[in-house]
Amino acid sequence: MVNLDLDLDLDQIFNNHATDKQSSHGYAPIYHALFKRLRDTPIALLEIGIGTVTPGASSSMYGHDLPGYRPGASLRAWRDYFSKGVVYGVDVQPDTMIDSEDRIVTALCDSTDAEAVKAYLKHAPGFDIIIDDGVHDPELQLKTLRNFYPGLRSNGIYVIEDVEPPGSWARSMGCRPEFRNSVGDALCFAVSCRRADLVVISKRGVP
């Protein structure tokens, strides 16, 4: 039997759902390297920012969406990749809510509001993976990290997408100091990508 290249498989999953994680950003090989050990396990994954198409909304996909795009594209892609996982999503825009799709659970929540996040996490499972694809502003990404990091399980992975500016600081510093200082002894590093950088935080061994 020929083993298929799973990097290409994730690439295709992203493209099938018209998410820009692959076509514009080239995240598929990085994500597969990070997550392949979890692919066939019953994980809980949370993505912050579901992808509104409301004109004028913060981080709206309106005018930037790929053909066939609809809110929740990334959630559907992760559901396909993690065949035994449950995928959760939060956003502030009502048009992103998904009511009745298998293994997808969405909720309205402002990731930068500490009290709103605390209330959300009270009724949520611990997450094996958290991906921040919300507002791509370093100050708001930092608030989101501080609010949601307590919801990440030990040995979990937290990823911040589209960290600006791309390239220069990632190569010289590895991770923004303000991000690193918010996660204690967890491993924190950055990966330069096509348009912006990913920050990856691994909570391995951290209670």
* Residue 72 belongs to a domain: yes
- Which is more confident, 57 or 143? 143
Domain that holds residue 193: 6-202
Alpha helix (H) residue ranges in 67-195: 73-81, 114-122, 138-148, 168-173, 177-180
The mean pLDDT value for 2-8 works out to: 41
The single residue of 17, 25, 64, 136 carrying the catalytic annotation is 136
* Residue 1 belongs to a domain: no
DSSP reduced 3-state for 207: coil
Domain count, the chain: 1
The mean pLDDT value for 160-174 works out to: 62
DSSP letter, residue 2:
P
- Which is more confident, 116 or 22? 116
Whether 123 is catalytic: no
Pairing relation of β-strands 44-48 and 152-163? unpaired
State yes or no: pLDDT of 76 exceeds 50: yes
The mean pLDDT value for 155-169 works out to: 77
* Residue 207 belongs to a domain: no
Nearest to 129 by CA among 2, 42, 59, 23: 42
Q: Indicate the pLDDT class of residue 61, thresholds 50, 70 and 90.
A: low
pLDDT on residue 133: 92
DSSP reduced 3-state for 99: coil
Percent of all residues in the chain with a pLDDT value above 90, rounded to a whole number: 53
- Which is more confident, 189 or 45? 45
The mean pLDDT value for 136-153 works out to: 94
pLDDT on residue 190: 84
State yes or no: pLDDT of 3 exceeds 60: no
Q: What is the CATH number of the domain that holds 150?
A: 3.40.50.150
* Residue 63 belongs to a domain: yes
Average pLDDT, the chain: 84
pTM: 0.88
